[in-house]
Chain A
Amino acid sequence: MYIVVIGGGKVGYYLAKALLEERHEVLLIERDRRRAMQIANDLGEGVVLRGDGAEAATLEAAGVSRADVVCAVTGEDEDNLVVSQVAKRHFSVKRTIARINNPRNEDIFIKLGIDVTVSATQFIISLIEQEIPTTPFVNLLTLRGIGMEIVDLYMSDDCPWVGRRIGDLALPPDTVLSLLIHDGARSFPTKDTVLALGDHLIGLTSLESEARLHEMLQPV
């Protein structure tokens, strides 16, 4: 694959290095001349292009129109957004991945056509929520292309589902509860499964049904 990485900070540098090790064709675009030289000395002359990735001329020189993926991973959300938008609209790049620092920017990035966003901040928040189950509802993964979400539902002591049969729950449309974790053991729940305090349910739900499902888990 031909992968263009924009931003030669720590994320961009290690990303380029790892991709090279996996034998991909990689070009890293870095604005700062000294940093660009440093990386060129390390990873090879042909791997680095010095320039502003938000300028169409730079992306043109990088040949992004034949790139399989463009990854915008600078430390500035606005730079990552603009680079991805220009790559997408101007050069019809198939797949754009943008790094996000402020998790609240995720919605606007998706609205504006960026394919995938990666937020370390959001990732850490999800990990904390998963490890410390104070919230009954954790989004584990969003399958953006098909509008579905994989979710972890935790039966806390004030959760109205505790003690109820799954078959009796009026689940919202496009929602499946696929896995039950009870006392650290896994099983596949049926409509006769009765939920207990401390259980985790791993399920699938559509983006439209997410709010309803979330609401159902709230104490009444």
Chain B
Amino acid sequence: MQVVILGCGRVGARLAGILDAEGHPAKFGGQAVLGEGIDYDVLRQAGIETADAFLALSDNDNSNIMASQIAQRVFQVKRVIVRIYDPGRNESFRDMGLETMCPTRVGVDRIEALLGVN
């Protein structure tokens, strides 16, 4: 499986290492131009046209949302997963058909479970 990852933070870098070790070539896209927004050429260079999966894991919710919609609608990537920190935005875009994951919600749920209050 060929995977393109936007954002090279802890999660992105770690995931890329693991996927690579398992024989799934993972390439980073976009980290060099994040401040400038989403660049189609960089996404292409990262191999988005032939990618099986696109993971939007930068620390900017809106960049992730926009990039993943481009991956889905323009480049027809089959599997697109987007990280959204803001739970409100997470819900909005999940309802619009994005496969989202919200670390804030996962964290809150987990801590509640540990406290035994949920």
List residues of A whose CB falls within 8 A of some B CB. 54-57, 76-79, 81-82, 85-86, 89-90, 101-102, 104-105, 107-108, 111-112
Contact = CB atoms under 8 A, between A and B. Distances in A.
A85 B96 contact: yes
A89 B96 contact: yes
Interface string B46-72: 000000000000001111011101100
Contacts of B40: 104
A15 B9 CA distance: 37
A78 B66 contact: yes
Given A82-B65, A90-B92, 13 more contacts: A54-B89, A56-B92, A77-B37, A78-B63, A82-B61, A82-B89, A85-B92, A85-B96, A89-B92, A89-B96, A102-B37, A102-B39, A111-B73
Contacts, number: 59
Nearest to A86: B92
A108 B86 contact: no
A112 B69 contact: yes
Contacts of A56: 88-89, 92
B interface: dominant SS: helix
Given A76-B37, A108-B73, A57 B88 contact: yes
Contacts of B60: 78
B70 A108 contact: yes
B26 to A, nearest CB: 23
17 contacts: A55-B86, A56-B89, A56-B92, A57-B88, A76-B37, A78-B65, A78-B67, A81-B66, A82-B65, A82-B66, A82-B89, A85-B96, A86-B89, A89-B95, A105-B37, A108-B69, A112-B69
Contacts of B67: 78
| B interface residue count range (under 10 / 10 to 19 / 20 to 34 / 35 or more) | 20 to 34
A54 B63 CA distance: 12
B19 interface: no
B64 to A, nearest CB: 8
Contact of A55 (B37, B38, B88): B88
B74 interface: yes
A57 B91 CA distance: 13
A107 B95 CA distance: 22
Interface in B12-55: 37-40
A54 B86 CA distance: 10
Nearest to A104: B40
